[in-house]
Amino acid sequence: MREPENIIVVKDLVKKFGDFVANDHLTFEVRKGEIFGFLGANGAGKTTAIKILCGLWYPTSGKMSVAGYDIYTQREKVKRNIGYMSQKFSLYDDLTVFENIRFYGGIYGLKKKAINERAWSLMKRLDLEDARDKLIRDIPLGWKQKLAFSVALLHNPKVVFLDEPTGGVDPITRRQFWNMIYESARSGITVFVTTHYMDEAEYCDRVSIMVDGRIAALDTPENLKQQFHSATMNDVFIQLVRSK
């Protein structure tokens, strides 16, 4: 069997803000089609890493490629192949569901017909057909979040980056959201997700746990639990933080 292709390759990623080192020599690979979890407390450097991989911030040093493209020299090609959903789920409050989909589809260069088709199937899947012409500010948070995720996938990216996507929603919606993540992973999309909910780590194929800007551990949840003799990922995390 062929080794799975690595869709994200990061070598010695360093990001400094003045004296503060947010990312300290991160090295890891993400395989095609997996759900890769990036775990850590607030301020551990997860968001910094994700913003660098998405091309929003410059790294201080290190080598990185996403979807086979170099992050320094082929930035725009990288962007064509990634989707991104931030903590704030950046949809426009004063636009309707459909208008948001159309706008983002448009700036990714989708044809009008494609936009309409995908918008329609997307709204059907999310049960949002009746809310097509509702303003984003008038729909519940859980819907907004699912919609933001779907919008991030609108242009069929190879990788999707999710930065703390489940902040502030109830457990049931979180469960539904993770079902959506599974579904897209099954269709071949690589999912790179950051979270500080340790229970969510169980849903990932592999997780990397960040402590103070470094990767403290990286493996499948099962292996990690075994390695640290813990029943839950939460225990693993607490051991890692204590041991430093």
Partner 1 sequence: MRTILYIIQKEFLQVFRNRAMLPIIFILPIVQLIILVNAATFEMKHIRLSVVDLDLSSTSRGLISKFEGSPFYQIKQFSFSYHEAENQMQHGKVDMILNIPRGFEKKLLIENCVKVQFIVNAINGASAGLCNAYATMILMDYNRQIIAENKTISAMVLPQNILTDYSYWYNPKLNYKTYMVPGILVLLVTIIGLLLSGMNIVREKEIGTIEQINVTPINKIQFIAGKLTPFWIIAIFELAFGLSLGKLIFNIPMEGNLWLIFISAAVYLFVILSFGLLISTVTNTQQQAMLVSFFFMVVFILMSGLFTSIESMPQWAQTLDKLNPLMYFIRIMRMVLLKGSGFNDISRHFWALVIYAAGILTLAVWRYRKVA
> Of these, 26, 67, 91, 217, which contacts partner 1 (CB under 8 A)?
91
Q: Does 109 bind partner 1 (CB under 8 A)?
A: yes
Say how many residues touch partner 1, by CB under 8 A: 31
Q: Write down the least CB distance from residue 103 to partner 1, Å.
A: 5
Contact 221, 51 (CB under 8 A): no
Q: Does 182 bind partner 1 (CB under 8 A)?
A: no
Q: Write down the least CB distance from residue 165 to partner 1, Å.
A: 13
Contact 198, 233 (CB under 8 A): yes
Q: Does 236 bind partner 1 (CB under 8 A)?
A: no
Q: Does 190 bind partner 1 (CB under 8 A)?
A: no
Q: Does 133 bind partner 1 (CB under 8 A)?
A: no
The piece of 78-86, 116-124, 193-201, 221-229 that touches partner 1 (CB under 8 A) is 78-86
Q: Write down the least CB distance from residue 76 to partner 1, Å.
A: 5
Q: Does 137 bind partner 1 (CB under 8 A)?
A: no
Cα separation, 139 vs 71, whole angstroms: 36
Draw the binding track, 42-61, toward partner 1 (x: CB under 8 A; -: no contact). ---------x--xxxxx---
Q: Write down the least CB distance from residue 197 to partner 1, Å.
A: 21
> Of these, 36, 38, 69, 84, which contacts partner 1 (CB under 8 A)?
84
The piece of 4-12, 75-83, 193-201, 213-221 that touches partner 1 (CB under 8 A) is 75-83
Q: Does 132 bind partner 1 (CB under 8 A)?
A: no
> Of these, 90, 187, 220, 226, which contacts partner 1 (CB under 8 A)?
90
CA dihedral 15, 80, 219, 163 (to 10 degrees): 60
Cα separation, 148 vs 166, whole angstroms: 11
Nearer to partner 1, 163 or 200 (CB): 163
Binding site for partner 1 (CB under 8 A): 51, 54-58, 75-77, 79-80, 82-84, 86, 88, 90-95, 99, 102-109
